[in-house]
A and B are shown apart, each in its own frame.
Chain A
């Protein structure tokens, strides 16, 4: 049984560009949450998707958007990249109301 998978593993972009990160949830899970983890910090909640709708959102600007597909996979899009967007982006999946399981993350570097 595959766990949560994320792609790509690493990504380098320049300021102003746009990026799309992808996440495939653990089999049987219907909820996907995205987190941003800056160096030396704990993960910060970006948003959560359930039934293809954004159900909760953390304190992130509108430059951060997402999508969930009918097969429960999800994308995180970030527009107009800033240097401060450099971080490890983590996807977590869960069956609604239960424990969140995390993927390996995507390391985004903005130059």
Chain B
């Protein structure tokens, strides 16, 4: 069965520092999603990557998908308190498919 591993599970960084979150799939993906979640709330869509080698950016957040479409990284530059929350990667194996999620990375930003 498809598995999605996220690392690290938890991250504490000083405000202004850069950070990276990784997501690894056991199988080749159709699409890789990144969502952000405030504790106990709904998921906010960040980015979706489909093509091998694809890279997308939104404000200070950049996500990349490797050529084999099995690994993705999310990079935040000059972190701010507003970046705190849970980052979830999700994978779809086919178009219209369900999303399989990793367990999430809990990000804390220290002022």
**Nearest CB of chain B from residue A107's CB, rounded to whole Å:** 7
Query: How many residues on A have C-beta within 8 angstroms of the other chain's C-beta atoms?
Result: 29
Asked whether B42 lies within 8 Å of A90 as measured between CB atoms, the reply is yes
Interfacial residues of chain A within 71-111, with CB under 8 A of chain B in the complex: 88, 90, 92, 96-97, 99-105, 107
B103 located at the interface, meaning its Cβ lies under 8 Å from any Cβ of chain A in the complex:
yes
**Nearest CB of chain B from residue A20's CB, rounded to whole Å:** 19
Asked whether A33 lies within 8 Å of B40 as measured between CB atoms, the reply is no
Counted as pairs of residues, one from A and one from B, with CB atoms less than 8 Å apart, the total is 58
A70 located at the interface, meaning its Cβ lies under 8 Å from any Cβ of chain B in the complex:
no
With A96-B96, A97-B96, A101-B45 already in contact, the answer to whether A43 and B40 are too (CB < 8 A) is: no
Q: What separation, in Å, do the CA atoms of A41 and B88 have in the docked complex?
A: 10
Asked whether B43 lies within 8 Å of A56 as measured between CB atoms, the reply is no
Residue-by-residue, is B45-83 near A (CB-CB < 8 Å gives 1, otherwise 0)? Answer: 100100000000000000000000000000000000000
Which residues of chain B come closer than 8 Å to A99, judged between CB atoms?
A: 33, 45, 48
CB < 8 Å neighbour of A102 from B4, B45, B102: B45
Question: Which of B40, B97, B99 neighbours the largest number of chain A CB atoms within 10 Å of its CB?
Answer: B99
Query: Which residues in B have some Cβ–Cβ distance to A below 8 Å?
Result: 4, 33, 35, 40-45, 48, 88, 90, 95-104
Q: List 10 A-B contacts (CB under 8 A).
A: A42-B102, A43-B43, A44-B101, A45-B98, A56-B98, A92-B43, A97-B95, A101-B45, A102-B44, A105-B42
* Top 10 closest pairs, chain A to chain B, by CB: A42-B101, A102-B43, A45-B98, A104-B42, A102-B42, A97-B95, A42-B103, A97-B96, A43-B101, A105-B42
9 A-B pairs besides A43-B90, A101-B45 with CB distance below 8 A are: A42-B4, A42-B103, A42-B104, A43-B43, A43-B99, A92-B43, A100-B33, A102-B42, A107-B40
